[in-house]
Amino acid sequence: MRNLKDKRNNTELLNKLIIILVFGFMWSLSEVAIGGALRKIGFHYRSGLLTGIGMGIMGVAFAIYRKPILLAGITFIAVLGKQLAIPLLHLTVLCRANSSIAVMLEGLSLAGVAAVMENRRKNGDVGRMLTGASAALIASAAFYYIGMHVAPCRYLLSFNRPGGLISFLTVEGLIWAVFSAILFPAGFWAGNQVKEYIIDVQIKRPAIYYLSASVLAVGFLIGNAIFVVAGF
């Protein structure tokens, strides 16, 4: 009986690790590839859209496994993925500090809000919209203070004045919240569509499940590295 319990615990731990790696590297790839493309075309709401995309990816993972703690793990891997620029391009940590801080705050805020809202499933789509928007607003407020001290770029310093936080939330925070309010529920919906299939494969064909998940995780990581080297 104990061996069976240990086996189940090991399997559950492996499943969590796989999900964290897959979705973490997927998020970091979106930050590097999509973020770089949006920067090249001069898209004005790049930060807001990237925040929403990250929330959407987390929404998929949350719909499948309903474990807020996994969102924190996914966030950690996403930040590590973004830091590939340091060894590959020989950059300093501060070169990607602000974007990494933003990702970390977005993921941790979402994990915290999702944990609180998890017991209110009757809220449905409205509750998930509030979850995404609230997490984005909390993250943007925290980013204002933390980013201002860790890596104060010229744009962020333009808000360093009386009432700067309110101005930053109006200009950036609300945009983050709007995209997150749309894309977190969208990601959650997408996760629900594939949830039964993924769990079915995981249980009935574990070899295929683990192989496919590993290929995805490695593929996202390699793609991340390719876009980093390409200057995205």
What is the arithmetic mean of pLDDT over 119-133?
A: 81
Residues 6+ apart with CB under 8 A from 216: 22, 26
pLDDT at 21: 95
Residue 122: which pLDDT band, with cuts at 50, 70 and 90? low
pLDDT at 143: 94
- State the maximum Cα–Cα separation within the chain, in Å, rounded to a whole number: 64
Q: pLDDT tens digits for 15-52?
A: 889 999 999 999 999 999 999 999 999 898 999 999 99
pLDDT at 232: 82
Residues 6+ apart with CB under 8 A from 125: 185
pLDDT at 157: 84
pLDDT at 139: 96
Beta carbons of 27 and 74 less than 8 angstroms apart: yes
Q: pLDDT tens digits for 62-111?
A: 999 888 999 999 999 999 998 887 788 777 776 778 889 999 999 999 99
Domain count, the chain: 1
Beta carbons of 123 and 117 less than 8 angstroms apart: yes
The boundaries of the domain holding residue 147 are 2-229
| Helix (H), strand (E) at residue 109 | helix 97-117
Q: pLDDT tens digits for 157-211?
A: 888 888 889 999 999 999 999 999 999 999 999 999 999 999 899 889 989 999 9
What is the average pLDDT score of the chain?
Answer: 89
